[in-house]
Amino acid sequence: MVTPATLLRMAAAAAAATASAAPTEDAGVVGQFEEYLRFHGKRYREDEWGERLANFRESLRAIELHATRSRSHTLHLNELADMSGADFARLQLGLRAGPGGDPALREAGSLGVHRARAAARLLGAYVLPLSIDWRERGVVNPPLQQSGCGACWTFASSSALASAWGIVSKQMVNLSQQQLLDCAGAEYGNGGCGGGAFVGTYSYAQAAPLCTAESYPYVAAERTCRQDCEVGVPRGAVRGFRNVEIRSEAALMDAVTKQPVTVGIMVEEQGPGLKLYQGGIFSGDCTSQPNHAVVVVGYGTDDGQDYWLIQNSWGPGWGEGGYFRLARGSGPDGMGECGILSMPAYPVVDLIADASTVATTTVGEEFHSTEEPEAAATSTGFLV
């Protein structure tokens, strides 16, 4: 017969066993977390440490689960692995509808729609190159980190503007993301660190000279718009922007043969998704509702799988040296993987008379677009 005293002893023994087992079970994860913090040079307050550990544990589980599935990309415990989904969305994304998501406004501010030259290709007059990588021509600035501000739209547009200017002028310049954050505001459909749309910045760039990043540095917070700076692209050089036909892989490929193109993609806010990307050709559980602005700087094929080559704004230590490759195709709804075909656009830039007065750096050697690009080196990071 089980007496009340026996039940008490059994309950006490179970509680003691649970108490002793829990720390042992978690000790390995805690050890990995502490090593992860040392690797990335992170330190947290005592009241934040537990929450960061919980986020890290979820990332660790997601990576372990991902490893059991057949995917063409790998994940790892990068610098974002201990960030909550809410913080990740607020601090590392930032594309909002604005002029970029409203078809009427997109057409009103556009110089036209770029369509694939299908007829010319059928006649043999024009053939798309098998691969292209604008970095090889020296007209793509290094990837940067938007760090703590939903300003992806300024990084994508400033990168595309610098590339467009580099192509027409044969000179490169680092353009200020902070100027766009401060000056291309609500009237252009943008909201500072609260998010914005890259086509709004192109409209702003029509009316103002663009500052160099060195003279107007990024501070990851919205400030008062400044008028004093060193000019990187003179007023009048940016004529506007051109939308790329949506739902058309051929149109985007054709546009990318002209210059890097800004696009919107959907990044999972919860779960590993692109957040923990290490390398390979990414395909994931994403919809076609864009929430992040990036720049397509090329495309190609690796082991029979087609991809877009994309510059991100999460720093050079993320992904493949700050870049990632996204599976190329029409996607389930015709919008491409993660909605990449839903809102592409690029700035239209011309050389003007006073271009010689701006701060510049000469671009690299000429690019041969028919050559297969080498895959970017996979980033280093804390490995499981």
Q: Which residues are catalytic?
A: 152, 292, 312
The span from the first CA to the last CA of the chain, in angstroms, equals 50
* 3-state DSSP percent of the chain in helix, strand and coil, to 5: 40, 20, 40
Q: Which two tokens stand for residue 188?
A: 């252009």
CB 77 within 8 A of CB 136: no
Cα three-residue angle 45-217-147, rounded to 5 degrees: 35
CB 375 within 8 A of CB 302: yes
Parallel/antiparallel/unpaired status of strands 73-75 and 132-133:
unpaired
Q: Per this entry, what is the length of the chain?
A: 384
Classify burial at 112, counting beta carbons within 10 Å of its beta carbon; exposed 0-12, middle 13-18, buried 19 or more: exposed
CB 355 within 8 A of CB 169: yes
Cα three-residue angle 65-68-73, rounded to 5 degrees: 90
Cβ neighbors of 373 (< 8 A, separation 6 or more) are 131, 132, 133, 135, 136, 298, 300, 309
